[in-house]
Amino acid sequence: MQARRGGGRLLEVVLGLALALAGLFGVLLPLLGVTGAIDSSRARDVTIEAVTRLPASVPSGPVTLRGTHRAELALTHPNVQQRILLALPDLFYGALLILVLALLLRMARTLRASDVFVPENARRLQVIAAAIVAAGVLGPAVDAITTHLLISGTAVSPAMPFAYTVSAAPLLLGLLVAALAEVFRQGTRLREDTEGLV
């Protein structure tokens, strides 16, 4: 029992540290970059219509090097609005990560009582599942919209189509966590039923 509590405390410390780092790197540093207090990212990987050119000196033979439809959008001296647009995707993902880690930390605290099957944990897992799906669906939308706003009215705008793609991995992970939330909900109900029998 003592080892379980020690492991629970260690988990709490690790999650607390991860939460602090996510707050620092996922939210605070991007916000400082927007204000100009630190030198923030001035570039973003983007999708372009043309295939990127390769140097003519690349030899051919059994191994070939091909261009892709990826490029880097770089802003030399971004103004405040452009810095906000550059930081928004990082802030969005950082906020979701903080939410997930905070909920996991609260769940880890229920380990002290040796009872993880409480209704609050089932609800926390449902929120975590929704956050994962939001990261997979809304995250790419935030990235695509802010990129479109960054390039609209510029000379590079015609070369960059509006690119919004959703990966299946976050959706599947969100469904798995939602299924786990249902397991926790059923475990809570089962525990309440067995307590009623005693």
2: pLDDT strictly greater than 60: no
Q: What is the pLDDT of residues 154-192, one digit of tens each?
A: 888 888 888 899 999 999 999 999 999 999 999 888 887
Domain residue ranges of the chain, discontinuous segments joined by +? 2-43+78-197
165 and 194 Cβ atoms separated by less than 8 Å: no
Burial class (CB in 10 A: 0-12, 13-18, 19+), 73: middle
Q: At what angle do helices 80-109 and 2-22 cross, to 10 degrees?
A: 170
> Of 49, 52, 30, nearest to 41 (Cα)?
30
- Residue 47: C-alpha distances to residues 68, 135, 160 (Å): 9, 20, 6
Tell which residue, 24, 142, 149, 173, has the closest CA to residue 94. 24
d(CA 71, CA 20): 33
CB count in 10 Å sphere of residue 52: 12
Instruction: Please give the helix or strand (H or E) that residue 73 lies within, else none.
Output: strand 70-74
Burial bucket for residue 166 (CB in 10 Å: 0-12, 13-18, 19+)? middle
- pLDDT for res 171: 97
pLDDT at 137 over 60: yes
How confident is the model at residue 104, as a pLDDT?
A: 96
The pLDDT > 90 percentage for the chain reads 55
Q: How many angstroms separate the CA atoms of 83 and 75, rounded?
A: 9
Of the two residues 9 and 112, the one the predictor is more confident about is 9
102-124 per-position pLDDT tens digit: 999 999 998 877 778 888 999 99
- Select from 60, 85, 55 the least CA-distant residue to 150: 85
